[in-house]
């Protein structure tokens, strides 16, 4: 029985793709970002392929929203050509560069261009780009990987230049850059206050959690923070209960400026990534250790027999994708590793997504293949979803 609910080959000459809040963004080799409502694409395929019975309705609902019910015996293997795709396009914007990385977070499309990192505001309700006259530049050095976090922070892997964060919470025209690691890295991931820095010396930097104003005011265990901030707000006739907005923003700014804590890890770990509540560590290509931070449990999966020589790995609802030095892609799910591609250009999964966590996008020479996997009914370390804590 296939794990795939959808295998959609979208014809075209593409560089990258990203799905976010129901909108599919595709970057082509003319450096145009085009946007499409994903539901429109699913609806179009359903009507074109004449799939109208109730079971198919359920399947198509699952394709639009991966949290919906799914039957594992249903799947769609189909194509979309460029003419069809262009009819479904909602908006287009040119970025005039082949970016090293793209990422959409909090309705901002970040891209790493030739001379720095930029963002474009997006609107998931209209699928349109905000076309500012001036480019929004948030970092001045070419970077190889982008990983955004909350409060307008972005971590950047600039290779031998090190790892930086940039933050424009205060002022988008004057972002604050900070070097947080000298490690030469081209692969980072910021998840749940932890920044995984993959380099010759794999490490994690842990950032201080930023509490919401309501949490500080309502949680009895945070009385020390509340008292400290309340003292600062006792100016004239401000109330003693609660904290002022100004004090709260000062608190946020002070946390944003704090240096992250360097976490010591086992020297056996050579690579790491995170998804949901699980942290994953590769041990010298011989095994993967998955540690569930919620359940305080872990599992070790031996992979030495496969001789994979892993270059990059990520986990989402579709499973764990492993890319090796030969450019092959493998899908690791409970109990098996299968090769899913041997000549892809690039790939992406969406561990932070609510409704698209089972998507795997693979860019090939002549197409973008969107694979959506059925949601596993069994609990598994190698599928993961949004953190049960705050994300």
Give the x/- contact pattern for another protein in 100-129, rule: CB under 8 A. Answer: xx-----------xxx--------------
Q: How far is the CB of 271 from another protein (least distance, A)?
A: 15
For another protein, which residue of 15, 167, 362, 368 counts as binding (CB under 8 A)?
Answer: 15
| Binding residues among 277-316 for another protein as defined by CB under 8 A | none
39 near another protein, rule: CB under 8 A: no
Q: Which residues, 6+ apart, have CB-to-CB distance to 96 below 8 Å?
A: 31, 113
CA-CA distance, 274 to 197, in Å (whole number)? 11
How many CB atoms sit inside 10 A of residue 282's CB?
22
CA-CA distance, 299 to 223, in Å (whole number)? 37
144 near another protein, rule: CB under 8 A: yes
Considering just the CA atoms, what is the radius of gyration of the chain in Å? 22
Q: How far is the CB of 252 from another protein (least distance, A)?
A: 31
186 near another protein, rule: CB under 8 A: yes
Q: How far is the CB of 313 from another protein (least distance, A)?
A: 15
Residues 16, 25 contacting (CB under 8 angstroms): no
Give the x/- contact pattern for another protein in 57-96, rule: CB under 8 A. Answer: ---------------------------------------x
For another protein, which residue of 7, 58, 107, 141 counts as binding (CB under 8 A)?
Answer: 141
Give the ranges where 35-93 is alpha helix by DSSP (H). 38-48, 54-64, 82-88
Residues 386, 375 contacting (CB under 8 angstroms): no
How many CB atoms sit inside 10 A of residue 368's CB?
25
Give the x/- contact pattern for another protein in 145-184, rule: CB under 8 A. Answer: x-----------xxxxx----------------------x
φ, ψ of residue 160 to 5 degrees: the values are -70, -15
CA-CA distance, 318 to 313, in Å (whole number)? 13
CA-CA distance, 280 to 202, in Å (whole number)? 12
Size of the site for another protein (CB under 8 A): 32
For another protein, which residue of 240, 264, 305, 365 counts as binding (CB under 8 A)?
Answer: 365
Q: How far is the CB of 6 from another protein (least distance, A)?
A: 24
- Shorter beta-carbon distance to another protein: residue 22 or 99: 99
| Binding residues among 328-357 for another protein as defined by CB under 8 A | 343-346
- Shorter beta-carbon distance to another protein: residue 364 or 380: 364
Q: SS3 for 178?
A: strand
Q: Residues for the chain: how many in total? A: 391
Q: SS3 for 202?
A: coil
Task: Write out the residues near another protein by the rule CB under 8 A.
Answer: 15, 29, 31, 96-101, 113-115, 141-145, 157-161, 184-186, 327, 343-346, 363, 365
């Amino acid at each position: 029985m296939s794990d795939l609910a959808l295998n959609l080959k979208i014809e075209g000459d593409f560089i990258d793709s990203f799905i976010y809040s129901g909108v599919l963004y595709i970057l082509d080799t003319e450096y145009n970002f085009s946007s499409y409502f994903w539901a429109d694409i699913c609806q179009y395929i359903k009507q074109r392929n004449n799939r109208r019975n109730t079971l198919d309705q359920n399947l198509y609902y699952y394709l639009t929203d991966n949290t919906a019910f799914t039957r594992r015996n249903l799947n769609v293997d189909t194509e979309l050509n460029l003419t069809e795709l262009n009819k479904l396009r909602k908006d287009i914007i040119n970025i005039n560069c082949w970016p090293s990385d793209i990422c959409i977070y909090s309705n901002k499309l970040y891209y790493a261009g030739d001379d720095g990192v930029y963002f474009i505001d997006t609107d998931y309700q209209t699928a349109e780009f905000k076309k500012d006259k001036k480019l929004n530049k948030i970092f001045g050095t070419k970077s190889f990987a982008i990983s955004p976090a909350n409060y307008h922070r972005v971590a950047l892997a600039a290779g031998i230049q090190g790892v930086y964060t940039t933050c424009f919470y205060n002022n988008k025209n004057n972002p604050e850059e900070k070097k947080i690691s000298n490690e030469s890295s081209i692969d980072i991931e910021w998840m749940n206050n932890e920044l995984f820095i993959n380099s010759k010396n794999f490490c994690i930097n842990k950032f201080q959690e930023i509490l919401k104003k309501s949490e500080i005011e309502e949680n009895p265990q945070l009385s020390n923070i509340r008292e400290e901030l309340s003292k600062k707000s006792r100016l004239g006739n401000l109330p003693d209960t609660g904290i002022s907005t100004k004090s709260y923003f000062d608190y946020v700014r002070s946390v944003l400026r704090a240096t992250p804590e360097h976490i010591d890890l086992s020297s056996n770990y050579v690579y790491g990534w995170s998804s949901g509540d699980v942290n994953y560590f590769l041990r010298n290509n011989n095994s993967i250790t998955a540690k569930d931070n919620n359940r305080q449990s872990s599992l070790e999966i031996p992979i030495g027999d496969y001789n994979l020589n892993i270059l990059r790995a990520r986990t989402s609802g579709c499973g764990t994708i492993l890319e090796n030095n030969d450019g092959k892609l493998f899908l690791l799910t409970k109990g098996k590793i299968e090769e899913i591609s041997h000549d892809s250009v690039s790939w992406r999964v969406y561990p932070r997504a609510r409704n698209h966590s089972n998507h795997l996008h693979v860019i090939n020479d002549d197409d973008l293949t969107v694979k959506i996997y059925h949601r596993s009914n069994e609990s598994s370390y190698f599928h993961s979803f949004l953190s049960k804590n705050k994300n």
